[in-house]
Amino acid sequence: MNLTLKIWRQKGPKDQGKMVDYKVSDISEHMSFLEMLDVLNEQLIEKGEEPVAFDHDCREGICGMCSLYINGEAHGPDRGVTTCQLHMRMFNDGDTIYIEPFRAKAFPIIKDLTVDRSAFDRIQHAGGYVSVNTSGNTQDANAIPIPKDDADKAFDAATCIGCGACVASCKNSSAMLYVSAKVSQFALLPQGQIEAKDRVLNMVNQMDLEGFGNCTNTGACEVECPKGISLENIARMNREFLKASIK
Amino acid sequence: MAKNAFRKTSIGRKVLMALSGLFLMLFLLQHLTINMLSVISPDMFNEVSHFMGTNPIVQFLLQPILIAAIIFHFVMGIALDIMNNKAREVKYAYNKPSANSTWMSRNMIITGLVILAFLGLHFYDFWIHEITEKYIEGDMSGLNAQGEFRYHEELVEKFVDIWRVIIYCISFVLLALHLQHGFASAFQSVGARTGKNKTALQKFGNIFAFVVPAGFIFIALFHHFTHGAH
């Protein structure tokens, strides 16, 4: 496959940045999108040019490190996959592909296509945990009976890898799908009840402080989420927040 | 950690937006029911209009609540839209929102502003006239020069002008688009949408968004073609 790539290049956080055109040829349809970018970067290095900076780590769709807004969609045109699992067979020979960073005020650009998603870490620190005594006498979690349905829903919420596709896709740059997944994974389990009130209040407060937008229920996040995190989690977070605010 | 008041949090705002929206939807249903009477029976319409226009609970309790809800809904809606735009300073060079969301859900501000502009005309047409008649000129009788109730004839008069009918009908179409997203969205915001009722809520929302504006369009056209076009 021969492709034209339009890639956002930005030297640093304060740089203006612009879209730059590149040509790549002989791309195999079996390559992942990131492997295609590796090919481009090898070409650039051979020519003595600066390679394109992009985030990646496990390359098997579980770490949440890769990002990219490809042809107008977070993680590209495929569904339920991260960019590392997006294959070039989703594109056609001769295509022009737009590659941009995840854009949000709360995700400032570090360089080229890499963005700072540490706002998510700070939201987690604000309450995305259960306090467990690790003295050595920790109770086996399986000793507490949990309805299968609740366990399944908590597990589904916990599959969120925190990649930020929800924020990137949302017209308001809202982080509610992410935060709601992190609230829900504990809200559904007995272990999460003790700190439930403070958790939701503190996490939502931190989310607001980070400068994410407000959710208007367009549902774009759910569609683009590589892990299929459901909008049901946002409704649950809204309930948890209302309960905590009234108490 | 210092926390914002409920009404200043992102979830607090969306809950208040949803509650005011749900209240306005209830009001629309009541408004449509009374207006339908103007088609079925002018006498009944006159009676109910007079009751609504002179009952102190409706006039001095429900009416101010309604006006407050309308003002809150559009002021908060505009404020949220401005805030949300600021949350992404650099826009995408290539964006494809149609791949993941409906036009209605993304353009509530556009449909909302058209409805707001329509409300300006609507208040000019009916509300300002009523307030002037009743509270400035002090005529609480609701009667015309012939000693008959004036409400039905005043309503019909407004729909003689084809341009007003066209503006009303276009506004109702925009209202339909606003409700198509707004109905289910309000339930989601207050946390009442679940995996089990999700489909039913959206279906009922679609029906509500079609039936209510279609009813208003029918009434406007009915009066234009039966009384107006003479």
Share of chain B above pLDDT 90, in %: 91
Contacts of B12 in chain A (CB under 8 A): 241, 245
Closest partner CB to B92 (pick from A103, A216, A236): A103
For residues B86 and B80, give the distance between their C-alpha atoms in angstroms, rounded to a whole number. Answer: 10
Q: Do A208 and B10 touch (CB under 8 A)?
A: yes
Q: What is the pLDDT of residue B4?
A: 72
Q: Residue B5: helix, strand or coil by DSSP? A: coil
- Contact present, B226 and B38 (Cβ < 8 Å): no
Q: Which helix (H) or strand (E) holds A22?
A: strand A18-24
Supply the mean pLDDT for chain B: 94
Domains and CATH numbers, chain A: 3-111 (3.10.20.30), 118-134+143-246 (1.10.1060.10)
Contacts of B94 in chain A (CB under 8 A): 6, 71-72, 98, 100
Predicted confidence (pLDDT) at residue A19 exceeds the cutoff of 80: yes
Q: What is the pLDDT of residue A169?
A: 98
Q: What is the pLDDT of residue B230?
A: 47
Contacts of A105 in chain B (CB under 8 A): 86-89
**A64: its two tokens:** 């949440």
Q: Do A216 and B185 touch (CB under 8 A)?
A: yes
pLDDT digits 0-9 by tens, A91-138: 999 999 999 999 999 999 999 999 999 999 999 999 999 988 778 877
For residues B190 and B195, give the distance between their C-alpha atoms in angstroms, rounded to a whole number. Answer: 15
Phi, psi of B73, deg, nearest 5: -60, -45
- The stretch B96-122 carries a mean pLDDT of 97
- The stretch B132-156 carries a mean pLDDT of 91
- Contact present, B190 and A242 (Cβ < 8 Å): yes
**B208: its two tokens:** 């509500």
The DSSP call for residue A33 is H
Tell me the pLDDT band of A14, cut-offs 50, 70 and 90: very high
- The stretch B203-212 carries a mean pLDDT of 98
Q: What is the nearest CA distance from A141 to chain B, expressed in angstroms?
A: 27
Supply the mean pLDDT for chain A: 96
pLDDT digits 0-9 by tens, B175-198: 999 999 999 999 999 999 998 999
Share of chain B above pLDDT 70, in %: 97
Q: Please, what is the angle between helix B10-40 and helix B63-86, to 10°?
A: 130
- Contact present, B221 and B36 (Cβ < 8 Å): no
Question: Rounded to the nearest 10 degrees, how much is the dihedral formed by the CA atoms of A9, A11, A16, A21?
Answer: -20
pLDDT digits 0-9 by tens, A187-237: 999 999 999 999 999 999 999 999 999 999 999 999 999 999 999 999 999
**A158: its two tokens:** 């916990």
- The stretch A142-165 carries a mean pLDDT of 96
End-to-end Cα, chain B, rounded Å = 69
Q: Do A217 and B189 touch (CB under 8 A)?
A: yes
Q: Do A205 and B1 touch (CB under 8 A)?
A: yes
Closest partner CB to A173 (pick from B13, B87, B105): B87
